[in-house]
Amino acid sequence: MEKLEGIKNIIFDLGGVIINIDYTLTIKAFESLGIKNASLFFSQHSQIKLFDDLETGKIGSKAFFDGIRELCGKHLPDNDIKFAWNAMLLDFPEDMDNVLKKVKKHYKTFLLSNTNAIHYEDYMQRMFTQFNTNNMSLWFDEVYLSHIIGMRKPNKEVFELILKENNLKANETLFIDDSFQHIEGASKLGIHTHWLKDNNLHRFLLKSGLL
């Protein structure tokens, strides 16, 4: 892998980059609730409007739970749906706290995540359990969460927002994500990108000379 030069800013994805995730666990959990062919409604690569609306803050938890009940045709308890939805969220790599703190000393760092209020509550608790803090400013200069800003990847507007608000130059900025469609969105604006396929952020940062 070639060393990356001229990078001053790094935008990190969350799931599959900062925290370990497994989309198949949520798909299986949904199917166990009675949602047939759940992968047609939700996957790493595509999802129906219900999930988009949750991720962009257009609907809250109650409307989402009602939507899932409509999909499966069953009157499921909110907690059962919440458990299934959060099933994909695993743990943070043990070295993640130290890695991100080191990177932040040398670069402007940002988090950009397609996420939602239900997941946010869960992974912030996991962060506190593992690292005794849920203060993301220790890792990032700014945090952009889709359900807060009302935009999601791979739409170019979300990348333009980060560049503009923080006076960043695209050719000095690196975006790291585990989903190829998001990588394509950033590349169109001239942002350097890396498609992280192995969930090993530490190794990539070392090999690319960023750490």
Domain co-membership, 31 together with 115: no
Domain co-membership, 109 together with 170: yes
3-state SS, residue 55: helix
CA distance 19 to 85: 16
3-state SS, residue 49: helix
Domain co-membership, 77 together with 126: no
In this prediction, residue 2 has a pLDDT band, given cuts at 50, 70 and 90, of low
Our count of domains for the chain comes to 2
Is 106 in contact with 208 (CB distance < 8 Å)? no
pLDDT digits (tens, 9 = 90+) for 26-74: 989 988 888 877 776 775 666 789 999 999 999 999 999 999 998 888 8
Which segment of 17-26, 44-53, 177-186 scores lowest on mean pLDDT?
Answer: 44-53
CATH number, domain of 60, equals 1.10.150.240
Rounded to 5 degrees, φ, ψ at 47 are -160, 160
Shortest CA distance to 192 belongs to which of 177, 172, 167, 174?
A: 174
Domain holding 63, by residue range, is 23-86
Q: Which of 61, 86, 111 is the last residue of a domain?
A: 86
Domain co-membership, 155 together with 196: yes
Domain co-membership, 115 together with 135: yes
Q: Is residue 27 part of a domain?
A: yes
Q: Is residue 3 part of a domain?
A: no
* DSSP, residue by residue, 114-178: ---HHHHHHHHHHHHHHHS---GGGT-SEEEEHHHHT--TT-HHHHHHHHHHTT--GGGEEEEES
pLDDT at 110 over 70: yes
CA distance 102 to 108: 11
Domain co-membership, 116 together with 68: no
Q: What is the pLDDT of residue 45?
A: 66
